[in-house]
Amino acid sequence: MSQELITVTSPLLPSLDELTPLLKDIWNRHWLTNNGHYHQELEKALAEYLGVEYISLFTNGTLPLITALQAMRITGEVITTPYSFVATTHSIWWNGLTPVFVDVDPATGNLDPQKIEEAITPKTTAIMPVHVYGNPCDIEAIQEIADRYGLAVIYDAAHAFNVKVNGRTILDAGDMNTLSFHATKTYNTVEGGALICHDARTKKRIDYLKNFGFAGETTVVAPGINSKMDEIRSAYGLCNLKHIDEAIAARKKVAQKYRAALANIAGITLFAERDDVTYNYSYFPIFVNEKEYGMSRDALYAKMKEHNVLGRRYFYPLISDFAMYRGLPSATKTNLPVATRMANEVICLPMHAGLSDEDVERVLKIVITKE
């Protein structure tokens, strides 16, 4: 009797017909990793597609965060958001730095610039914001604060693949930007990621750091990590790039249907869309106010599951609530009231290019009827 499962995400896959000749070519070349042909091709293709000049591929989306902090020699305290995927804060921890959590703006889910300024101490050296769900941060306000206090800005742009403001990429904001190409993201290379910077010298240093710090056959210039993307995933990524516009267009249709149907449901709020932003529709978060909606977020989440529809409480719990961070002075709930509320109210609805009209209807019926 139970209906077919509707998953939250579903990976964008290249066609096997497209991928196979590239794989054959890799077999012929006998070159599997270490800045091979397809690695170089994908870097070029992504730079062009995203409208950025300097991009380095990585083996996932976490190591570029860790490496960005290394490359910029960040010390002391890094101001960041608790309302993100745990990798954001983990990257700070892996560098032996202290994360300082700051509350978010309820209109976007992103770091509140005014609260960033209030959290700055003599030990602060960097800000690590996240464009959560692909909603652009207040880039100008953040840069103004960074410039005034002499801080680096490293954006975790894992959700912001090809997001633009007024037709211009946001992936050139701040000092560095990271991307994730994990299978659950809008664009994927199975696992993968990238680090974007502003000049050739910095890219060179990043490329040393992702290859153990090697700057030549016998020279190691830093305690680098191994985070090179291999040829197979680079080729896969090249194929997927051909389908990304189509996939984003399909996501946009789903988002429009959700938005139209949920605009006036008591107790359900959505983020407003800005006219000047080109979104990638990576997620569709809704916020459930238990009192007004007449049902708790967790009850709705369970109700969806009963119907074989998977939502995701993304981001819940807050990063600042995990055992390794909750003892930090900035992790208290009183410091983070907006993020705390959002984490308790959020459900991300199913969002991917494979959702049919019937799938969207099924999801909406549950949210609207609560049955």
Q: What is the smallest separation between the CB atom of 63 and ligand PLP, expressed in angstroms?
A: 7
Contacts of 217 by beta carbon, 8 Å cutoff, 6+ apart: none
**Closest residue to ligand PLP using C-beta atoms:** 61
Q: Take residue 166 and report the two structure tokens written for it.
A: 């007024």
Between residue 103 and residue 162, which ones bind ligand PLP under the rule CB under 6 A? Answer: 130, 156, 158-159
Interface residue with ligand PLP among 87, 128, 309, 351 (CB under 6 A) is 87
Q: What is the smallest separation between the CB atom of 69 and ligand PLP, expressed in angstroms?
A: 13
* Residue among 352, 347, 180 at smallest CA distance from 253: 352
Q: Looking at beta carbons only, is 193 or 311 nearer to ligand PLP?
A: 193
Q: Looking at beta carbons only, is 60 or 320 nearer to ligand PLP?
A: 60
54-62, 121-129, 316-324, 355-363 -> range binding ligand PLP (CB under 6 A): 54-62
The H helix count followed by the E strand count for the chain is 13, 13
Q: What is the smallest separation between the CB atom of 301 and ligand PLP, expressed in angstroms?
A: 19
**Is the separation of the CB atoms in 199 and 214 below 8 Å?**
no
**Is the separation of the CB atoms in 329 and 238 below 8 Å?**
no
Q: Take residue 339 and report the two structure tokens written for it.
A: 């993020």
Residue 189 contacts ligand PLP per CB under 6 A: no
Label residue 214 exposed, middle or buried (CB < 10 Å: 0-12, 13-18, 19+): middle
Facing residues of 313 across strands?
A: none
Q: What is the smallest separation between the CB atom of 163 and ligand PLP, expressed in angstroms?
A: 13
- Distances 8 to 24, 49, 62, 257, 316 between C-alpha atoms, Å: 33, 26, 22, 16, 15
φ, ψ at 30 (rounded to 5°): 55, 40
Q: What is the smallest separation between the CB atom of 74 and ligand PLP, expressed in angstroms?
A: 17
Interface residue with ligand PLP among 56, 60, 80, 135 (CB under 6 A) is 60
Q: What is the smallest separation between the CB atom of 188 and ligand PLP, expressed in angstroms?
A: 9
Q: How many residues bind ligand PLP (CB under 6 A)?
A: 14
Interface residue with ligand PLP among 9, 80, 88, 227 (CB under 6 A) is 88
What residues make contact with ligand PLP under the rule CB under 6 A? 60-62, 84-85, 87-88, 130, 156, 158-159, 180, 182, 193
